[in-house]
Amino acid sequence: MISWISVCVCVCVLSVLLCVSLVAAFVDELDDSFMETRGADDIWLIKFYAPWCTFCKQLDPVWHQIGSELKSLGSPVNVGKSDATANTGLAKEFKVRGYPSILMLKKGVKYNYSGPRTKDGIMDFAHRVGGPLVRTLTSLQLFQHAMNSRDVMFVYVGATSQLKGNYTSAAEQLIVHTYFFSAARDILPKAVSLPSLPAVVVFKDGTFFTYNEEHDGDLKSWINRERFPNYFKIDSYTLYAMGESGKLVVLALVEERNLCEESLRYKSLVEKVAADHREIYSRSFYFGFMEGGDYISGLVMAEVIVPSFVVVNLSNDGYFLPTGAVETEHHLMDFLNGVLDGSIQCQGGNGVVQRARRFVYETKVTLMSVFSQAPLLGCFLVGFPLAMATVFCYLCRKARSTISDDDDDDVAPSAPPLQSYKKLTDKKSE
């Protein structure tokens, strides 16, 4: 009986080890020789990590799943990882600043990934950047499928032109954020009316908008501004990315679950203003809601009341708060108009003083969290530096006292004793 149990245990252990080895085989460990040995047309998805990094360790099983799945789908994307602390040359080549750092290398061009560290987010990034810059839609069915599978979609319509060249150039830089498509005019639904061809069209929020150079300015800047829905649920990663667009973000801060009646009213109020007054505010604002107030609390350096309204400027870490109660649509519009005309003052910012204050605030919040969850660890984190500082001050004080005593000993013998001085005086007087 015991022998059969032993055999079963051994078989299970071997099966697990075999599965682990097979999964690990889809992720290559890269070193400093990678840039010389890689193929010129190879596409690589790379994770830079540090052995001591907790987030890197949490991402590791997800990373191996990604490698296995991409290989099984026949993707041209190779998956690798590199210890940035050991392979410093490779980390310097890719300008790694933090861990884990995820990027893609495609035909010599490096694309950084800044989205959530989830399998779905990274897989979407790999499919998007690893595929063609501009994907051709050849049928109405493909167009409808693309429309149904994403919130925002950019489409170039027409023959080869200078506009298409600008569109492709913008895609080279913004492919990390969104998909780019092209289609013939007869592929689009008949309800899509275009004033002229060629044209660049964005489909979102159940409608479409055509790029106008005179009205919208630079094509790349327009795409960067329009790559988000006008109103949607916003998380910390998305909010950070919105800072690159130059727009302000109007947020209704609500509970993470079990929304109260007031939170539902705040959400619907922001959504209504976003939809009904798009022509007035879409060039200056994004609209959305965020669950929980922790991220915004770190920005304003105070506990944020939920539910509430706030307008955030991610380009300089500034924020605007209503000066009074926001009960109606007109109240919210007055608040937004005050932000635009400057009558409501921007608070916060990323100046030296604000950065120092934010560092102190974040340190305080972190320590409070540690004390609440692990009091002993909190006492150690606070007490150990204080104890070291106390010991250091004591040793410095003691060293100074010792030096002072030594100086006194050196000076005393050089001065003549008082009695000798008197005898010498008496001899002179005789």
For the record, the structure tokens of 288 come out as: 């959305």
Phi-psi group of 158: left, alpha or beta (phi > 0 → left; psi -120 to 50 → alpha; rest → beta): left
Q: Which of 206, 240, 210, 237 is nearest to 223 (CA)?
A: 210
Q: Is 108 left (phi over 0), alpha (psi -120 to 50) or beta?
A: left
Cα separation, 385 vs 393, in Å, equals 12
Among the listed residues 8, 10, 19, 53, the single catalytic one is 53
Using DSSP bridges, classify how beta strands 180-183 and 135-137 pair: parallel, antiparallel or unpaired.
parallel
Residue 104 near residue 131 (C-beta atoms within 8 A):
no
End-to-end CA distance of the chain: 121
In the annotation, is 53 catalytic?
yes
Strand pairing category for 248-254 and 308-313: antiparallel
Answer left, alpha or beta for residue 351, where phi above 0 means left and psi between -120 and 50 means alpha: beta
Q: Which residues contact 298 (CB under 8 A, 6 or more apart)?
A: 358, 361, 362, 365
Q: Which of 10, 56, 260, 379 is catalytic?
A: 56
Q: What backbone torsions phi and psi does residue 258 show, to the nearest 5 degrees? A: 55, 65
Sequence-separated (6 or more) residues with CB below 8 Å from residue 211:
199, 200, 201, 202, 219, 222
- Position of tokens 């085989």? 25
* Residue 346 is among the residues annotated as catalytic for this protein: no
CB 134 within 8 A of CB 180: yes
Catalytic residues: 53, 56
